[in-house]
C-alpha cells in the first residue's frame, strides 16, 4: 500500500515538473522578447533541478540551481542588459524561417520519439542511494582524475579568454 | 503508473527539439545561446536518467552518469562565459547582436 502511494506521489511530481519544464521551454523558444525567453529559461532550469531530485541525484540538483540559475542565467541577463541598445531588434526571425525551423524540429522529434518508443530498453529500478556527494567526490578524484584536472584547466582558460576578449582596446 | 526510463527519455527528446528550434529560429545571438542551454539540459537529463535506471551488479552503485553530467555542467559554464564575451565584442563592433548583421570575420 505504501509502495502504491510512493509511486503515486512520484508520478504526480513527475507530471507537475514536466508541465513546468515543457511549458517554460516552449516559452523560452517562442517568446517574442529575449527578456521573456530568459525568464522562461529560469523556470526550465529550476524544473530540471526538480527532475534531478526526483531521480535521486541530489548533489546534481543543488549544482544545477547554483551554477545554472545562479551563474549562467545571471550571465545571460547581463548579456541582455549590456547589449540593450538593440533590445527592440531582438525579435524572432521572419515567419518563414521560423516555420522552417519548426518543421525541422518536428521531424527530429518524430525520429527521436520513434527511437525511444521502439528501442529495446532494459531498465532496472534499483534503490535510490542514500548519499551521492561522497561517492561522486571519490570517483572524481580516482577514476576521473585526469578529466577532472583537464576540466579545471579548461575553465581557467575559458575565463582568461573571456576577459581577454572583452578588454578595453587601445586605439 | 510508475515512472520508468522511457518517460524521461521522451521529455528530454522534446526539450532537445525545442532547443534546436530555438537555435535555428532566433536571430539574436543570446537567443541562440538560450537554445544551446536547452539542448545541454536535455542531454543532462538523459545522462542522469540512464544513471538512475541502469542495471548494476548487486551491491554496487554506479555513478558514472552523474559524473558525466557534472562535466557537462562545467563545460556549459565555460561555453556561456566565452559566448557572452563574443556577444559583447560583436555588439561593440557591429552595434547589434543580430546574427544576420555579423557577416564579417575581420572586425
Strand partners, B28: B98
What is the distance in angstroms between the CA of the first residue and the CA of the last residue of chain A? 75
Per-residue model confidence as pLDDT tens digits over A48-58: 999 999 988 88
Per-residue model confidence as pLDDT tens digits over A101-114: 899 999 999 999 99
Per-residue model confidence as pLDDT tens digits over A128-144: 777 888 889 999 999 99
Who's near B26: CB < 8 A, 6+ residues apart? A92, A93, B32, B34, B35
For residues A33 and A127, the model is more confident at A33
Q: What are phi and psi of B26, to 5 degrees?
A: -85, 150
Domain residues for B85? Answer: 5-94
Average pLDDT over residues B83-93: 88
CB contact under 8 A, B37 and A72: yes
Q: Which CATH number is A6-108's, of 3.30.980.10, 1.10.1060.10, 1.20.120.1200, 3.40.50.300?
A: 1.20.120.1200
Do the domain assignments include residue B100?
no
d(CA B32, CA B35): 5
Quote the mean pLDDT of chain B: 86
Do the domain assignments include residue B103?
no
Distance of CA B104 to the CA centre of its chain: 27
Decide: A66 and A43 in contact? Cβ < 8 Å: no
Stretch 57-96 of chain A: residues touching chain B, C-beta under 8 Å? 57, 59-60, 63-64, 67-68, 71-72, 75-76, 78-80, 82-83, 85-86, 89-93
Q: Indicate the number of domains in chain B.
A: 1
Strand partners, A92: B26
Interface ipTM: 0.88
**How many beta-carbon contacts under 8 Å exist across A and B?**
244
**pLDDT at residue A86 above 80?**
no
CB contact under 8 A, A28 and B18: yes
d(CA B102, CA B106): 10
Residue B5's nearest CA partner among B40, B43, B50 is B50
Do the domain assignments include residue B106?
no
Do the domain assignments include residue B64?
yes
**pLDDT at residue B10 above 90?**
yes
Do the domain assignments include residue B101?
no
pTM of the model: 0.89
Interface test with B, best of A102, A139, A162 (most B CBs within 10 A): A162
CB contact under 8 A, A90 and B30: yes
The CA-based diameter of chain A, rounded to the nearest angstrom, is 75
Do the domain assignments include residue B13?
yes
Q: In chain A, what residues touch B6 (CB-CB under 8 Å)?
A: 116-117, 121
Do the domain assignments include residue B48?
yes
Stretch 29-48 of chain A: residues touching chain B, C-beta under 8 Å? 29, 34, 37-38, 41, 44-45, 48
The CATH number given to whatever domain includes residue B68 is: 1.10.287.3510
DSSP labels, A81-117: HHTGGGGGG--B--HHHHHHHHHHHHHHHHHHHHHHH
d(CA B99, CA B55): 45
Among the ranges given (A84-93, B13-22, B53-62, B74-83), the one the predictor scored with the smallest mean pLDDT:
A84-93
**pLDDT at residue A1 above 50?**
no
In chain A, DSSP assigns E strands to none
Do the domain assignments include residue B102?
no
Q: How many CB atoms lie within 10 A of CB A134?
A: 11
**pLDDT at residue B105 above 90?**
no
**pLDDT at residue A120 above 90?**
no
Amino acid at each position: 500500500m505504501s509502495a502504491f502511494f510512493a509511486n503515486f506521489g512520484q508520478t504526480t511530481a513527475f507530471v507537475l515538473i514536466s508541465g513546468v519544464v515543457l511549458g517554460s521551454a516552449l516559452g523560452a523558444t517562442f517568446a517574442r522578447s529575449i527578456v521573456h525567453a530568459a525568464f522562461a529559461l529560469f523556470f526550465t532550469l529550476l524544473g530540471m533541478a526538480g527532475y534531478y531530485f526526483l531521480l535521486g541525484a541530489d548533489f546534481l540538483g543543488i549544482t544545477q540551481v547554483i551554477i545554472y540559475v545562479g551563474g549562467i542565467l545571471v550571465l545571460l541577463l547581463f548579456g541582455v542588459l549590456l547589449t540593450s541598445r538593440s533590445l527592440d531588434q531582438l525579435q524572432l526571425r521572419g515567419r518563414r524561417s521560423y516555420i522552417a525551423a519548426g518543421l525541422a524540429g518536428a521531424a527530429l522529434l518524430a525520429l527521436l520519439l520513434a527511437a525511444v518508443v521502439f528501442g529495446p530498453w532494459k531498465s532496472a529500478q534499483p534503490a535510490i542511494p542514500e548519499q551521492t556527494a561522497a561517492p561522486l567526490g571519490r570517483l572524481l578524484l580516482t577514476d576521473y582524475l585526469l578529466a577532472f584536472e583537464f576540466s579545471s584547466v579548461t575553465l581557467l582558460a575559458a575565463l582568461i579568454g573571456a576577459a581577454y576578449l572583452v578588454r578595453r582596446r587601445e586605439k | 503508473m510508475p515512472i520508468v526510463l522511457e518517460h524521461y527519455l521522451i521529455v528530454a527528446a522534446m526539450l532537445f527539439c525545442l532547443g534546436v528550434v530555438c537555435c535555428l529560429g532566433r536571430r539574436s545571438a543570446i537567443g541562440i545561446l538560450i537554445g544551446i542551454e536547452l539542448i545541454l539540459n536535455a542531454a543532462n537529463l538523459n545522462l542522469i536518467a540512464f544513471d538512475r535506471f541502469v542495471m548494476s551488479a548487486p551491491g554496487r552503485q554506479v555513478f558514472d552518469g552523474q559524473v558525466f553530467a557534472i562535466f557537462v555542467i562545467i563545460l556549459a559554464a565555460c561555453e556561456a562565459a566565452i559566448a557572452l564575451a563574443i556577444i559583447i565584442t560583436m555588439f561593440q563592433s557591429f552595434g547589434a547582436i543580430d546574427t544576420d548583421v555579423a557577416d564579417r570575420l575581420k572586425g
